[in-house]
Each structure stands twice: as structure tokens, then as C-alpha cells.
Chains A and B, each alone.
Chain A
Amino acid sequence: MRDWMKLAGIRSSEITDETVFKQRRQLIQAAAVAGMTGAISAEASATTPKLSMPIKSTDYTVDGELTSEETATTYNNFYELGTDKGDPVKNAGFLKTEPWSVVIDGECDAPGTYTLEDILKPHDIEERVYRLRCVEAWSMVIPWNGFALGDLLKRFKPNSKAKYVAFETVSDQNLPGMRSRVLDWPYREGLRIDEAMHPLSFMAIGMYGNVIPNQNGAPLRLVVPWKYGFKSIKSIVRISFVEDTPPTSWNMSAPHEYGFYSNVNPEVSHPRWSQAKERQLTGSTSGLAALFASKTETAYLNGYADEVASLYADMDLKKYF
């Protein structure tokens, strides 16, 4: 049993026994060879237990329809676990989240290596329903469980030189997707300090009231709802306070296509496709009906302009895309 689950008040009866889990993995891999993954991988996504600590409800809700848990946990971009949308759930077992620690370094007064328990201990867990807009023009509405990023960062006492916050995804596990050099591993992301301290920026340890599944970025991931999904970095192992704009993975891979800010903006097209509309993936329309669902207009800053537009008041967002 993971210690941090104990901390989170998860009963061991709720957790799949490791040998059963491994057998299930083997079964899934065997099934993949047999070409019948569809049915079984959906079952794999149901293996995360409930977060049984109290979850405070909040005013962070969304008018639109919630994406089904199955859709949100089986259609993922997590390139360390493979580049197809179905790969992360299939390869989820390769990611080992126990033990887990996060290195905090850079311009702060309390740097160090913190265990996940240390990270989580002082925070009350709340639920926030956020829109998630992928740069690939699809979107979801997901109930996340976690705490404000700013509350976490303040604990490490960033100093006046801390202008940016850099994040890093786990990379020392030789995950199956890392064999191909699609991106320059480890995956890196970053925020300006005022963006990071904004109350909307969120650290998730769960979704739908359940422990966050590996394919969604267990055990600790960022959620920045007004930016394209790739900014919301998964499976975080390092947080650094830095003075200059930190390098970020997609920006390094294609600087003219993915900017450091990557704010959701229907007015600024991706060089290769329009960002004006999005396909909302709810999971409730399935089969043939899903073929005739129409796209919806993408909102400036993903609908969070009232909260965060002031962060970019004097900036030309066509230049700083």
C-alpha cells in the first residue's frame, strides 16, 4: 500500500493487491497482442480507489456537461506512456508512483527533497470542476481533487528572484514512450510566478473523487485551466523557482507552434490548424450519435477571462502566444 494513500485515508481493502494488479497487467498486455484491448483496458482504468479523506466542494463549477470518468481516463496525452490516446491507460502499470518525492530547488528559502506525504500533509482537499482544452482542439470538463498550487509554493518561501516556476515530469523510470525521442525528456513546463500563484492554478491528486490514475499524471499533477492542456504537467518530480523563463518541452520541440504562455485563445491559430472551435468530449454520446455532435466555439482563456485576463493586460498575445 502506498504510504501517501494511508495518509489520504485510503483503506487497503480499496486498493488492488499488487500481484493481482500485475497479473491484470500481463493479461492486458496479452490481450493487446490478441488485438482485443478495448474491453479490458477500460476495466484497468477502474482500478483507482476512492479518495476517502473529506473533499470540500467549491464554487469552481462549469455549466457544461461533465466528461465521463471513463472518457477522461482512457483518452490521454501522456507521451512517456505512448503517443496514441489509448496508450497511457494500456501502459499505466509501467509508471511506479511508490515511493514518490519532489525536489524543490532554486530561488526559495526552503528547498529540499520532500516526500509526497510531506507535500500533501497540510492541505485540505477540495473539488474543482474545470474545463480542459487540448491544443489539438478537443476539450473535457473534469472534476479535479487537490489544492491550490499557490498554497503549496508559499510553503517553500520563494524569494524576490523567483520570477518563474519550472516543473519536471518523472523520467528515471524508462517508461515505454520514452524510447522514442518524440520530445526532449524529461518533460518540462513552466509558469510565470503570478500565474502559478493565481488561485485558479491547481495541484491535483485525484479526479472524480478517486485517486488520480497513472495515465492522468499520478500521483501529483498541475491543472491550469486557462492554458492548453500540455501546460498542465503530469507526474511532477521537481519544482524549481527560477529567475528567467524556463525551457518548456513543446516550445523546445516546435517554438513557432507552441509558445511559453500557450493561453487558450481562439483568435490565435496554431500555425497548422484553427483554434476557433473545439470538440467537447463528454462520453455520454456514444456510437453513431457521437458522429453528429457539433463543435463548440472556444472561449478566450478557456472561459476564465474574468479571473485571469488581468495577468496579460499589457501583452500582445499574438506575439506571446
Chain B
Amino acid sequence: METAATATTAVPKSKRRKASRWTWVSWLKVVVFILGLVPAAAIVGSVVTGKAGPNPIEFITHSTGEMALRLMLLGLLLSPMRWWFKSTVPIRFRRMVGLFAFFYVMLHFLTYAVLDQQLDIDALLDDVLKREYIIAGFVSLLILIPLAVTSTQSMMKRLGKRWVSLHRWVYVAAIAAVLHYIWLAKGDQLEPLIYAAVLALLLGLRIWRHFSRKTKRVKPA
């Protein structure tokens, strides 16, 4: 306590803030960052060693898509966690989780466009204009691009209140992503419907909170 107090007075204000940032949360961020890269490394490993099976392009497409969906849902879990634990710590992982989701979405899209379709523009256009599940996936991707671009601290400051309303579009992107999965599945709908149920729960929590807070605010007045 005493040393901390002396340190505070000795160090200039700006530097002090930086130094105090290296808390357990910072270490946790390093861990989460590494964890976020593990699936990508595992996918590369499986392909190189042949464990990905006879259709590695399908394997990469499926596993990157699955990771993207899971990370989008994880990102949407962080706000409810803040309310639940009454702590801002979960929110501090929102950008990283969101950007990792975007990273896997891009890998997913590039695998489809470059490896699977081999940049055949006619085939890509045919897909994007005609096939419902491709349209849904593409809509999700198009929404996520500006969100990723405006995810920096400086963009947050620059956009102010508009940043919040812009980033609400992530709900639409998540719904489109789940629809993409539901519409492409052949036969077995169990997994896509699990994702849909989790998303419905996460969005439902927000709606419930929105209305319960409104009524609370009204009452004292």
C-alpha cells in the first residue's frame, strides 16, 4: 500500500496509467489471444498432415465457419456477463473476440472464394445472387467489415454515440450467420438449431433487460 502510494506520486500521470494496465486482465488477454489462434493452427496442422481427410477444402470451410459462429456468439455473451457479474472485465475482451470472429469469417470466405470457387467470378456471382445461404453469409460478412474497421479506440472516440448504433449491426450479422448455417445444412438440422437457440437466448436477454430497465426507470419518476 505504502509503496503503491509513493509510486503514484513519483511517476507522471500518463505513464502511471500505462504501467497500471498490466494487470491480470492483461495477462488474460494474452492467453485469450493465443487461444484464438489455436484453432487456426490446428486447421493448418490437420491439412498439412493429411488428418483433414480427403476433402481438405470442405474441412477448412466447415471448421472456419464453425469457429466464426462460435466466436460471434461468445462476443455476444460478454455484455450479459457484465450484467451478471457486475464487472466491466468481460467487456474488455469484446474487441479481441469480435476481431477473432472477423478473422475466421474472412478465412471462411477466402476459402470459399479462392480455394473452392478458384475466383471464378461467374460462379461467385451466380452464388451470391441466387443461393439463399450464400446471400445470408455474404450479408453477414459485409456488415462485419465496417465493424472491424471501426473497432479501434480512435474510431470509437471519433464516432462517439454513432459508434454504439453502428455496432448494434452485429446483431443482424449474427442472425444472418446463423441463417446461413440453417439454410445450407443438408438433412441434419440439430447443430444449426443449437446455434440459433443460443443466439435467440443472447438476443432475448438484451430485449428483456431493455424493457425491465425501462420500467425500473419509470417507476421512481
Judging by beta carbons under 8 Å apart, are A291 and B115 in contact? yes
Cβ of A136 under 8 Å from chain B: yes
Cβ of A305 under 8 Å from chain B: no
For A286, the chain B residues whose CB sits under 8 A away are 50
Cβ of A99 under 8 Å from chain B: no
Cβ of A272 under 8 Å from chain B: yes
The number of A-B residue pairs with CB atoms under 8 Å apart is 63
Judging by beta carbons under 8 Å apart, are B53 and A274 in contact? no
Cβ of A138 under 8 Å from chain B: yes
Judging by beta carbons under 8 Å apart, are A292 and B53 in contact? no
Which residue of chain B is the closest to A258 with respect to CB atoms? B186
Instruction: State in angstroms the CA–CA spacing of A189 and B53 once bound together.
Output: 28
Cβ of A183 under 8 Å from chain B: yes
Judging by beta carbons under 8 Å apart, are A281 and B126 in contact? no
Cβ of B131 under 8 Å from chain A: yes
Contacting residue for B55 out of A79, A138, A180, CB 8 A: A138
For A287, the chain B residues whose CB sits under 8 A away are 47-50, 56
Judging by beta carbons under 8 Å apart, are A75 and B187 in contact? no
Cβ of A294 under 8 Å from chain B: yes
18 residue pairs bridging A and B, Cβ less than 8 Å apart: A75-B55, A79-B187, A83-B188, A85-B55, A138-B55, A183-B187, A272-B184, A273-B127, A273-B131, A274-B126, A276-B123, A281-B54, A286-B50, A287-B47, A287-B50, A291-B57, A294-B118, A295-B116
Cβ of B171 under 8 Å from chain A: no
Given contacts A38-B51, A272-B183, A272-B184, 17 further A-B contacts (CB under 8 A): A74-B53, A74-B54, A79-B187, A79-B188, A83-B187, A86-B53, A136-B186, A138-B55, A180-B190, A272-B132, A281-B54, A287-B50, A287-B56, A288-B47, A290-B47, A290-B56, A291-B47
Instruction: State in angstroms the CA–CA spacing of A97 and B60 once bound together.
Output: 35
Known: A272-B131, A291-B115. A75 touches B54 (CB 8 A): yes
One digit per residue, 1 when the CB lies within 8 angstroms of any chain B CB and 0 when it does not, for chain A 258-298 equals 00000000000000111011010101001110111011000
For B48, the chain A residues whose CB sits under 8 A away are 287-288
For A277, the chain B residues whose CB sits under 8 A away are 123
For B184, the chain A residues whose CB sits under 8 A away are 272
Judging by beta carbons under 8 Å apart, are B54 and A283 in contact? yes
Which residue of chain B is the closest to A68 with respect to CB atoms? B54
Q: Chain B's nearest CB lies how many Å from the CB of A291?
A: 5
Contacting residue for A75 out of B53, B115, B126, B133, CB 8 A: B53
Instruction: State in angstroms the CA–CA spacing of A68 and B55 once bound together.
Output: 13
One digit per residue, 1 when the CB lies within 8 angstroms of any chain A CB and 0 when it does not, for chain B 111-147 equals 0000110100001001100011100000000000000
